[in-house]
Amino acid sequence: MQTQYAFYQSELQKLIGTEIERRKENLVGAHRASGFDLSEYKHQVGIIDGLRMALELCDDAKTITQGR
């Protein structure tokens, strides 16, 4: 069971990392394009922050479960 959990966590972290990179690329592309919207930029940065926090929480959960 632990192996399945470790695989799940690894895949989830990869997906979150991929999504962070995708959103960062979109921000760079939007910044280069005309019609830069500060509110949309802030929104996307907030999402990226939230995804990074999710990665940190995954690490915290791993530490907690390995300590038991």
Q: Which residues contact 58 (CB under 8 A, 6 or more apart)?
A: 9, 12, 13, 16
Read off the tokens for 64.
Answer: 């907690």
- Per-residue pLDDT of 33-52, as tens digits, reads 666 788 888 999 999 999 99
pTM over 0.85? The answer is: no
Any idea where the domains of the chain sit in the sequence? 35-68
**Averaged pLDDT for residues 58-62:** 90
pLDDT in the model for residue 66: 84
Instruction: Evaluate if residue 32 carries a pLDDT over 90.
Output: no
**Averaged pLDDT for residues 16-44:** 85
How many angstroms separate the CA atoms of 48 and 68, rounded?
31
